[in-house]
Amino acid sequence: MRRRVKCPDVVTVAQLAEFDEVIDARSEGEFAEDHVPGALNCPVLDDAERARVGTLYKQVSPFAAKRTGAALVSRNIARWLESRFADKPRTWRPLVYCWRGGSRSGAFTHVLRQVGWPAAQLDGGYRAFRRAVIADLDALPAHFRWHVICGHTGTGKSRLLRALAARGAQVLDLEGLAAHRGSVLGNLPDAAQPPQKLFESRVWAVLQALDRTRPVYVEAESRKIGNLRVPERIIANMWAAECVRVQASLATRVALLIDEYAHFIAHPDLLVAQLRCLTALHGAGRIGEWEALARGGRWEALVAALLESHYDPAYTRSTLSHYPRYGDARVLQATGPEPSHFDALARECLAAAAP
């Protein structure tokens, strides 16, 4: 008769992928700052309840806090059992963590195991996960062969990156993970940037899934994407990597940017507010000219002026100083915004990189 393997009570970060679901038992505020990518937030104490228990601990007694906390935790675990976990099969294998692998995740794991699920608790909790992220972001980047997609603003670098991913290439989309297009106008209209720690966790999750024997494509970046810092070891390896340069005519670049930044055309006041951030660089007179073009709907003229006076000089300085292999890059010519065109560029890029 086949022996059944017993599920361990406590596991490490290296074993995350062995579980069907990862449950974050911390409060919604803790979860929002950072969490294991893909984790399900099921607080055993929400933000208000944590504050209430903490106040009791300080002002009344540890016993009073534990008694109240235990009642709250029990009710919340019962609520999750009756809602999110009501349809889970007997074989469902969850992993639970809290801040440091203590009483919150311990209580949750105990109840799940009593039900009959082979649940486990993450040793060291979120703090152990965070230590693993920091260590891996320092060590992993050196193990990959990076190919950096370079090119002036509006040449379609992000589109090429997406086309490469659709073709099965390994891609690290830093701007997608950062929810930002990487310039003063880069804020996305429907998504705020994540906290720094959560951005790093998302990058870590992508790196964990990459095959070290295959190249990784990434768009050229500086040290920051919006308000977020690119992990130091990643940016260092990118700056030393082989480059692919995308070129396009000014007219093509203008058309691509107008297509990508349609939200500014729909709401010119948002664009004007962002343009004023450039006053220190270009002076009030030039910013006033650009504002007039925006309010007058003269989008082609405005985009061309921004490219020639702001983006192109800044990009040239930054790229030449950061990417020493830029001059040796193979060149791809973008001629239009059509997806089929960028698919063809992706095929050309992959063919050139093939051994």
* Helices and strands, number each (H, E), in the chain: 16, 12
CA distances from 4 to 12, 120, 133, 246 (A): 21, 16, 33, 56
Closest CA to 178 of 210, 146, 200: 200
Catalytic residue chosen out of the listed positions 42, 98, 150, 243:
98
Separation CA 89–CA 78 (nearest Å):
17
Q: Give the neighbor-by-neighbor strand order of the sheet with 215-219.
A: 170-172, 215-219, 145-150, 242-247, 330-333
In the block, tokens 């692919």 appear at: 244
Per-residue tokens: 22: 């990862």
Residue 276 CA, distance from chain mean position: 28
Q: Are 242 and 228 in contact (CB under 8 A)?
A: no
Separation CA 21–CA 39 (nearest Å):
7
Amino acid at 282: H
349 is catalytic: no
Ordered DSSP codes for 305-320: HHIIIIIHHHHHHHHH
User: Which residues are catalytically annotated?
Assistant: 98
